[in-house]
Chains A and B, each alone.
Chain A
Amino acid sequence: MNTSYALQLSNINKQYPGVKALTDVHLRVSQGEIHAIVGENGAGKSTLLKVISGVISPDSGEILLDGKAVTLKSPKDAKRAGIAMIHQELQLIPELNVVQNLFLGAPLVRRGRLLDRAAMFERAQAVLAPLDPAIPLAAKIRQLSVAQKQMVEIARALLANARVIAMDEPTSSLTPAEFEKLAGIIRQLSQQGVAIIYVSHKLDEIFEVSSRATVLRDGKFIDELALSDVTQQQLVHKMVGRELRSWPKREYDRADTVLSAQSLSWGERVRDVSLTLHKGEILGIAGLVGAGRTELVRLLAGIERADKGEIHKNGKRLRLRSARDAIKAGIALVPEERKVDGIIPMQSIFSNICLPVFDRWTRAGLVRRGALQLRATALAQQVNLRPPKLSRAIRLLSGGNQQKAIICRWLNSGADVLIFDEPTRGVDVGAKQEIYQLIEQIVNDGRSVIIVSSELDEVMRLSDRLLVMQSGRISGELKSDEFSEAAIMTLAIPHEVTSQPS
């Protein structure tokens, strides 16, 4: 078994425009092994999973299945080779029933043509019963709980004779009890010889479930280790890998509160959050994906509406019913999903920059295009937008320059509170530095900034003060002299499951 691994990847490289996503990454998973992939957000875990599941092809490198080289050009290839992927967002069709989903794309037939419902039912029963006998086969997927859906996904992988099953954050929406059950199933699968690749943020879980782990950082292979040999802290150190750094402190008046929120709540997503933002301050919000950071800033930006709580700006209570209201009050959001919430792809850069202010720049009902164009051009120059041709469609710009255009939008609108949600996601290294400088420039001009980022390095570098969120709540506040990866992670990681390092 040692001579040939169930799955072996060597020297995998993947270059995206401007970003090296994976550099010489290795991964070795034996038959029946439960192998974790760990790393910070952006370390390359998802890219590696995409390579394994055939969603993207690496630029170079070798993939061996049971010692035999394979090329995975599409998810279909991967599936045929016996690799199944269980995604964060489950890939089931909600309106079809369990059996239909299990045999999606590969139904059993009799006499060549007709669906063999009886046989499908029987096989579904046989596969699903050991996983969760309580799942009704005739139920539609949307009637099932998340945990049950996951079992259906696993059953589908087993039906396809998967020998490698990769799970991406499988427990992100499971209760502790459901996790225990999943852990049991995973162990059972590994005893049957299935190799499991387990990606999770929750280190407790990783130590409970898996035996070995591959550590990635900045797209590079850092180490492969047996989890019995290390402590959680040692693993975190491998993941983070940097020594502490300090950044020059900025001066600002902490007496001058610009924005404050009291007991903001929005369902389960944001629970009883209070915060204050001072003039000229960069307030960082850290936390794991799904901790409620994006939801919190969307409340502040008026995009979503809070069930409870108050928002005050310069001492006045705001009643935000839309993003438009927030923008009028001087609060603007540079959103996380640039393509979904940020840009109007087919419209010009000019239109994208000026969208919030067109109604303020009119004469006799007509847009004062000339005057606006001068302003937009000056701003584009200030943020070093390339190429600076504002009549081009914004979708032709690189991610970093799209982000700069959105920043121009809010500088132009006169917002004095700018909220950045993952300001450098999908942005190349050069533009990243430029965006950092822009953010610092913005606060030096007397505006205030809130930054949400999953890159610890980024929030620590930029923020004057840090709030850490966990499960919708603020779990702690850190002053700049208290910043460290360990301090943030301690506040960010939920300790729902008692750790049992083996």
Chain B
Amino acid sequence: MSSRVFSDTGSPVSVRDLGTLIGVVLIFAAFAFVAPSFLNAQNLINILQQSAINACVAVGMTIVIISGGIDLSVGPVAALSAVVAATLMVKGLPPSVGFVAGVLVGTACGSINGIIVAYCGLQPFIVTLGTLSIYRAVALIFTDGNPVLGIPDSFRNALSATFFGLPMSVVIVTIVAILAWVMLRKMPLGEYIFAVGGNEEAARVAGVPVERTKIFAYSISGALASLGALIVVGRLGAAEPVLGNLWELDAIAAAAIGGASLLGGKGGVIGTLLGAIILGGMRNGLTLMNVQAFYQLLATGVVILLAMMVDRLTRGRR
């Protein structure tokens, strides 16, 4: 029996999260040593902004992963909700309507994933691999493959505003993260999500509404993917049907670095945010050092594997 260093569901920050935080500090210290401008307040804010979209998607991914699933379809869900929201706004509907419609599309896509996973008994990997293609195809068919241009300025301005010096995207993700943390740690649903991921059969016997819980998890993941997409649309002023390519991999990486187990039943919002910051910080720092994109990719992969090995080693400790 391997004794894990954390088990307290009561404490807000687990020992595992502290480990991830140490990882953040080490990586940031290393970059600061090589590129002193890395630690500028402005650059740190840049890092947060660059991490925000992945963090948003990864929080949803974390919830699905804790429930024992995986959501490979986040990228196409993001694209579909982006083009739908953008089209509505271009047609003259108010940006708020477009925004809500976009999130609803994402939630609907997610709940379709959840319903198939919960009721058809198919593996989440396969289900979301299938819907990954389907949602992408729908987005491409819907737009004929062309980007949707002409997003109203009011929408762009609202999403590029700052709040006490923090970009709106960072503010949104912070709020999302707080809500997700409260849901996971303070609400019955959170207990259900951990229970379903930890032992689905036992959860069922204990009266947990397993199907509803799964559908909820995937719906949240879809909603947060669309939220990430809308932030991108606000930033770029256009919605592309190819948006969100490979988002699922970044999101899974952030969740895994943050301590989520792909076997389910384990993970957390704080860890995932730190994971996203590690990935964002790496990219930012390597760019500052003028490292080529190819090598950035290489470094990212190495960091993911290192993080997992450290995780494994520290968990094996008695």
Contacts and interface: CB of A to CB of B under 8 A. Distances in A.
Contact of A346 (B182, B191, B198): B198
Interface in A37-54: none
A324 B201 contact: no
A206 to B, nearest CB: 35
A352 B265 CA distance: 13
A340 B8 contact: no
Interface residues of B, number: 28
A323 B206 CA distance: 7
Given A343-B202, A346-B266, A323 B207 contact: yes
A340 B201 contact: yes
Given A323-B207, A356-B206, A358-B191, A348 B199 contact: no
A328 B199 CA distance: 21
Contacts of A145: none
B187 A348 contact: no
Contact of B205 (A335, A347, A354, A366): A335
Contacts of B201: 340-341
Contact of A341 (B7, B9, B194, B202): B202
Contacts of B186: 366-367, 369
Interface string A339-380: 011111111101110111011001001110100000000000
B195 A344 contact: yes
A351 B191 contact: yes
From B4, B187, B191, B201, residue with most partner A Cβ within 10 Å: B191
A20 interface: no
A413 B186 CA distance: 19
B205 A333 contact: yes
A367 B265 contact: no
A327 interface: yes
A395 interface: yes
Contact of B208 (A340, A355, A413): A355
B125 to A, nearest CB: 20
A347 B188 CA distance: 14
A303 B204 contact: yes
Contacts of B10: 348, 350, 369, 391
Contact of A393 (B7, B195, B206, B208): B7
Contacts of B301: none
B12 interface: no
A172 interface: no
Contact of A391 (B3, B8, B195, B199): B8
Contacts of B202: 335, 340-344
Interface string A9-38: 000000000000000000000000000000
Interface in B198-239: 198-199, 201-209
B6 to A, nearest CB: 9
A220 interface: no
Contacts of B199: 340, 343-345
Contact of B188 (A333, A340, A346, A362): A362
B1 interface: yes
Interface core residue of A322, A345, A347 (most chain B CB under 10 Å): A347
A392 interface: yes
A19 to B, nearest CB: 17
A452 to B, nearest CB: 15
B198 A391 contact: no
A417 to B, nearest CB: 14
A352 B8 CA distance: 13
Contact of B203 (A326, A328, A344, A367): A344
Given A344-B194, A346-B7, A391-B8, A359 B206 contact: no
A301 interface: yes
A328 B208 CA distance: 11
A301 B205 contact: yes
B204 A323 contact: yes
Contacts of A70: none
A346 B198 CA distance: 7
Interface string B242-286: 000000000000000000000001100000000000000000000
A279 interface: no
Contacts of A347: 9, 191, 194-195, 198, 265
B273 to A, nearest CB: 21
A26 B142 CA distance: 76
A324 B290 CA distance: 58
A260 B182 CA distance: 43
Nearest to B261: A346
B207 A356 contact: yes
A395 to B, nearest CB: 7
B187 A367 contact: yes
Contacts of B9: 347-348, 350-351, 391
Contacts of B206: 323, 327, 344, 352, 355-356, 409
Interface string B1-25: 1011001111000000000000000
Contacts of A343: 199, 202
A393 B187 contact: no
Contacts of A362: 187-188
Most A C-beta atoms less than 10 A away, residue of B4, B203, B207: B207
Interface string A457-472: 0000000000000000
Contacts of A348: 7-10
Contacts of A342: 202, 205
B194 A324 contact: no
A210 to B, nearest CB: 38
Contacts of A301: 205
Contacts of B3: 396
Interface of A: 301, 303, 322-324, 326-328, 333, 335, 340-348, 350-352, 354-356, 358-359, 362, 365-367, 369, 391-393, 395-396, 409, 413
Given A344-B265, A358-B192, 10 more contacts: A327-B207, A343-B199, A344-B198, A346-B7, A346-B266, A347-B194, A355-B203, A356-B208, A358-B191, A362-B187
User: Top 6 closest A-B pairs, CB basis?
Assistant: A358-B188, A393-B7, A344-B198, A327-B207, A356-B207, A324-B207
16 contacts: A301-B205, A323-B205, A326-B207, A328-B207, A344-B199, A345-B198, A345-B199, A346-B266, A350-B9, A350-B10, A358-B188, A369-B186, A391-B7, A392-B7, A395-B1, A396-B1
